[in-house]
Structure 1
Amino acid sequence: MRFGPVWPLQTPTPTPTETATEVATDIGGLLPFDIPMWVVNIGESLIVVALAIILSRILVRLLGRRVARQFRRPSLTRTALRGIRAGVYIFALLTILNIYGLQLGDIALSVTVFTAVVGVVLAPILGGLISGVFLLADQPFEIGDMIELVDTGQRGFVEDITLRHTKIFTLDNTFLVIPNGEIRQRDVVNYSAEDSRTRLSLDVMVTYESDIAAARTLIEAAAREVDNVISGGPDIRVGAARYPASPTVYINEFADHGVLLTLRYWVTEPYKLLAARSRVQTNVWRRLEDADVEIAYPHSHLYFDDTSGEMNVSLNDGLSGLNGVGRTHAASGDSPVPPRQDPDDLADE
């Protein structure tokens, strides 16, 4: 048996300019030309980013309703869905770093060193995130609630609650973004916490000569005529107490200038409190205008009798001579009021 010549298999040796990351690839021989490795890495990274975006949207669409039924709060639902997106993007970032040759241990070491260096800078951000977690856990208000900032008097609707800030859509058609660490330290009034019904009050002072009973009846009837004012029904429970649902007038104080009456009434919604108050006051004015009731105002009466003492008042005769005196003083720049003179002297002039 004869054998032909055996040729040794030789592998091409890389040139000095061909390093491990610069060796070209022809993608299994499918392309007639070589592609640099950095181009392949960029392409793989773009594919990972695209897959991460598509996967996050699919997961949010599939799990959105289940998460909403589980938490039953819009703020927690949005936070959970943001966490799902963040988890997908973090996994995509780790995959991209692995494409470029970075291992998880190297990444952890780098993150540890970086955190130790810039920990002072990240402290406020981490504090805001922790405040956001407590804000979501305490549930002082929810998305869609109407709240008021006590220190500034601004009112609006909660538009969004994130781990970093709370966005409020004010009644002036503006957005107010407050960091969670700041809003947790401020006094906030929630008008939509559990019951949207809100109680308002109106002070009306009438004179002592007025018919107090008629005034109370007329003021209560005036409040019932407003559309969004609760005219009656069962008592409204606030905590352990119960209050009348219908408008009620109380005698608040016997003041210096009259009797202070306080009207307390409930409105169905807290969204237009100023408009409701204005309509109630308009009806009260119209009702009391033709009744035997007079709205009191600050005034004083002075009485003089025999025990009040005496006040000397005198009127000089010969007032015609004052004209010349007044012109003289006016020309000299002094006061035009003439000095006290003898009436006989004025007559001689």
Structure 2
Amino acid sequence: MENFDWTTFGDNVLIDGLFGSAIVIASFALFFYICFVFVKRFMKTRHLDNQKSILNIVRGLFWIILVLIILSRFHIFSSIAQGIIASSGIIALIAGIAAQDTIGNLLSGIMVVASKPFIVGDLIKINGEQLIGFVEEITLRHTIIRTYENNRIIVPNNQINQATIENATLIDSTKGNYFLVPVSYDSDIDLATKIIEEECMAHPDFVDTRTPLEISTGVKPIVVRCIEFSQYAMMLRCTVNSENSFKGFEMLSDLRFSIKKRFDKEGIEIPYNQAFIKK
């Protein structure tokens, strides 16, 4: 045992000898460690979700590759390791075809996180009025959106990446809300207009978007216009600005109640089709 030659043993067992194989394995181990540290720091700077799961996957892949490299240094295992490495390309191709939707969602998730068209907490609209809600969570596979009804909608990132997105939480988030009020032909239109203007301006969520020049020249904060003579009513409409769509929805609901009460008090009628009223 004292005369045992490790160098000769290494030359017989290892392809590149003891020192050559040690250098190759150490070089790959150092390379994988540097790559892992780079991936970890990149994810932290980008604030990616599911960091722990992704790092575990990356770490596992690096260990598998390193073990195959170590086995390939031994004469007895070299053919087996090379066969596994050669077949991994075919396996990866088959897996890629089978999971192309998943891979597409992952790549789209990376693009969403990197470009940041929206962040958690933003109010967004997807494809016009198709889906409206607050972004609750962004993962590499999907985005969770909370609607006004407090439902959670899970949208694959591949669809998010192809959709037209309106972000209502960006710098200028003021929302112009159309407010439609029908008034009977027998009612005092001037009084009805005055009531609508007063109630809109009195609401705490109303936002006055007039410029200083418009204020100095006497432009009204609320302008009520008649847009149609319908069969039963004059259709009056105004634009009431709010901070965002969510507050605008609540504000219009409040205004319908308050204006209806003022109309009843002042004798202004909101007409309806009486043919549907049962006697």
TM-score bracket, normalised by the shorter chain, equals: 0.5 to 0.7
Q: Deviations over 1:160-182 (max 9, x none)?
A: 33442222234444543221123
SS of the counterpart of 1:208?
Answer: coil
> Whose radius of gyration is greater, 1 or 2?
1
Q: Which letter maps to 1:264?
A: T
Q: Which letter maps to 1:267?
A: S
Taking only aligned residues, the RMSD between alpha carbons, in angstroms, comes to 4.2
| Structural mapping, 1:23-172, within 5 Å | 60=41, 64=44, 67=45, 76-78=46-48, 85=55, 90-99=61-70, 101=72, 108-136=85-113, 139-149=116-126, 154-172=131-149
Q: Does 1:261 align with 2:236?
A: yes
Q: Given the alignment, which residue of 204, 227, 231 partners 1:227?
A: 204
SS of the counterpart of 2:48?
Answer: helix
Counterparts of 1:295 and 1:266, CA distance in 2 = 24
Aligned residues, how many?
235
Counterparts of 1:254 and 1:171, CA distance in 2 = 33
Q: Give the unaligned 5+ runs of structure 2.
A: 6-12, 14-28, 213-218
**TM-score normalised by L of structure 1:** 0.53
Alignment match, 2:250: 275
Alignment match, 2:159: 182
Q: Which letter maps to 2:255?
A: V
Q: Cα–Cα, structure 1 residues 56 and 138, in superposed 2: closer, same or farther, change >3 Å?
A: closer
Q: Percent identity?
A: 24
Alignment match, 1:29: none
Q: Cα–Cα, structure 1 residues 210 and 193, in superposed 2: closer, same or farther, change >3 Å?
A: same
**TM-score normalised by L of structure 2:** 0.64
Q: Which has the higher contact order (CA 8 A, sep 6+)?
A: 2
Q: Cα–Cα, structure 1 residues 216 and 82, in superposed 2: closer, same or farther, change >3 Å?
A: farther
Q: Deviations over 1:40-85 (max 9, x none)?
A: xxxxxxxx9xxx8xx869955x984xx3xxxxxxxx5427978994
Q: Deviations over 1:107-128 (max 9, x none)?
A: 6523212123334203222332
Q: Give the unaligned 5+ runs of structure 1.
A: 1-7, 13-19, 21-47, 68-75, 236-243, 301-349
Structure with more helix by fraction: 2
